Structure 1
């Protein structure tokens, strides 16, 4: 189909048709010309036969003086016979004996041989021409005239045929040329004009023009290609516009996000609470980039698994939340179910929060599964992770420096206490011992003994507290976190008790400040000391946990319990524990347990602004 409708093939067909027409016309003309070749000669000679017949008749009717030329008359008849069968005449006669002209020629021959010639030969020279001779001559001449007429009609018919062939060839050539012009107009000029218009429209960024050419020739294929090209250009141009618009929106979002990061970085570094400093910034960043929720997980040396520190969307109050008036991260269950989380066809991006040589945590970003994060959004999130890493690292460094400074200060204080207060207490104890050796009798003896007992009790308690304080100071110097310090303390009192003391530690890392850790440790040690010294217990357990927003420490034993079931009055150790608890903003309770034994419980809300994760590590 394609080869038939090709422009080149159509032009070849037209040219071939014109050439074929010309060839047919020329061949027909040549054939007709060839067929009438010699007809003029035959007509002339046939006409001469009439004149020859009359000459013979005139000679036969001549005077007697021509009698001697009788021999010449016979020669004339022979010549006439030769002229009658001359090739000039026979050549124009068809070979088919059934042809009318061949029959007419044969009739003339028969008329001559059997009619006129014998009549002329039998006529007496010089005699009058009789009616038979004239009738024979007229009859013969009429046959000759008939043949001449037939030759003329045949020649004119061939000439008319030649004219008809020329007219038909001319008309066919004109029709071919007209068809060629019409075809060129419809198949070449109009398509070319449409293609030029399309090219002009494309130059003006107008891709709506279409050629819509029918057929499968070269220009139609070119038109189809132009239509496809304009469609693809329109799609590409639309895609480019969309990409430009998308890039513009992305740049605007990026600019807004950078401004947000710049503004929020100040509060992030100024506010030592990661939750308060990061959640508003993360939520605004989610709105700008169309992502969320986002979580921050921190890595701690005391925890084998990363623990969650911040979330931007949760249905329940996070475990680490210390401000129950803050609802920034709380959302309705319906809202949470629409977020792209793991159970809701979401995709997750994990970015490390790291400093050179140290992995501090992980930034978890959820986004819809039906679209990809742009490179700009990824770079912004990477910048955010770098800022978080810097803030967390600086906070940890500040905390460690505070702990180190506090440990150094307490070491100095411990040394000073050992060198001054401890020696003074030892001196006072020796003086009390000397007073006991004095023999005082009389009314003052009971008063003297009571005063000595009170002094001895106070000095022993003060000396014991001093030893505990020195032990704590030295312990804190070697163990830079509460978990290690408690483990060391439990091992120490297990040896003193002779039985293992159980420790249940469920406090997230970096929950307490160094000062809060010291007070908590001292209260636990005081409770353990009382259990070992007074409880007569076989089982002692220590539990330190975070029950949002409070930190709770419990020391339980299965000993004999408190006399009367109430807290002891004016117990020196209990007074110190109460003072420490008030320093922490909490309280200490001492009570008997229903199943037996005593429970010492400490409860307070941390005031430190440290990084507190949501999940507590395993005990």
Structure 2
């Protein structure tokens, strides 16, 4: 160290010591960061290697089990397994640089020679996990030591700061307050900072104004907290009584406008969420939809979060946007967006409130979706149980009666077969056959499942299934995604569509078919059309049982079924009033009466 450096240290000793301590703390923090980074990287590498070895063992087992039946497939699986371990980063590193243990080296050699059994691969996976745990323990110990040194350095810095900034200046500051004289230059920068106290004395006169300003800020925060709690109580009480509706959501957004001091606000929902709630994809109070929501599509709005400044497409002005995703760990349902002018400054408390409301809405939608799914599954389980009981009891009895009646007809003399006795036996046989067909149809109905995602997914599956089994191109045009149907209504519609499309495939000689679901806000219409040879509507046709079943299902829905056959095409039209429409109509009527 030269004379200039020593003079600098003598002139600024406290500053130099502080810089040294801070440099040490920064170095410790950097070391801690590097250790953490290395730990995460190694953990990921070891986990990936363990997964690769596990997958390789699984492929080897599968190949071994099918080697006698399909040797080519088994060879392909063995090749794929070899490629997995050959391309793994950790295993390649160990091959090039040497394995950490002799056991792993031997196992790697067996892998390279393609003689590794699934048991050897399982042992290698265990060794990889053990090596990963050991390396992680070492890095953790290093992190703990580094953290201890970091805490010690912080404590030393805090203790030194207390001594330098609190204890030493205490007496001079007190004397300065009493006499009001300027402080002469001192030995270090702390002593020279005493001269700033002259300015602090002048600033004391503004303490009352600052205190008043602080009081206003605190009162504003308290008022904001009270309004936030009141809003949370309101939305929780509303959601506890019933599922979210358009009116509830609009009232919530209207109250948020006043609390957050935004000019426009909207709740943007995904298509499935909007369909579940029975509302539009964009919910906003009257004339309060943000410009950013009007200018962009829903898919562009979903990733928004936090506080952002976005340009207005028409005026090129910047708009301040608050956005909070409406999501739970299992999925995202939408985004809550508030919009203000460019000079609006939002604090973290505003974003926290928006995120809290978005979280409450997300859990409400999630609970509603789970309830709908649970009700659907409960109904299907009950129907399957009834189907099993019918199959084990009534179906067996009918089968037994058919067999016994066939035996009776076989032993009847020819003169009795042509008499009234034979006619009665044949009538009984026809009645039993009809009852058995109806029972089989009933069992098929009870065993019919509805997709967990609802009617739309069910119809798509039916169309795809029947198209793959025939040359008929079947498409579905669903225009009622926002109409809320009960599980029973979905089951009947799905079975009507399946029966109609089955008749098209079997009898219509058509090349294409279209299923259309539409609504005029009073009733729902389901149309199944094809370009085939038409439908024979008179009783006794080759598929009149299917038509009778479809008519019975339409009556179960409280609707009607029309058959319009005009060669070379035909259409089956089912019209009914959903329970949700009827409920809304009753609510509107009662409101008008009141």
TM-score (norm 1): 0.47
Question: Higher relative contact order by CA 8 Å / sep ≥ 6: 1 or 2?
Answer: 1
Larger radius of gyration: 1
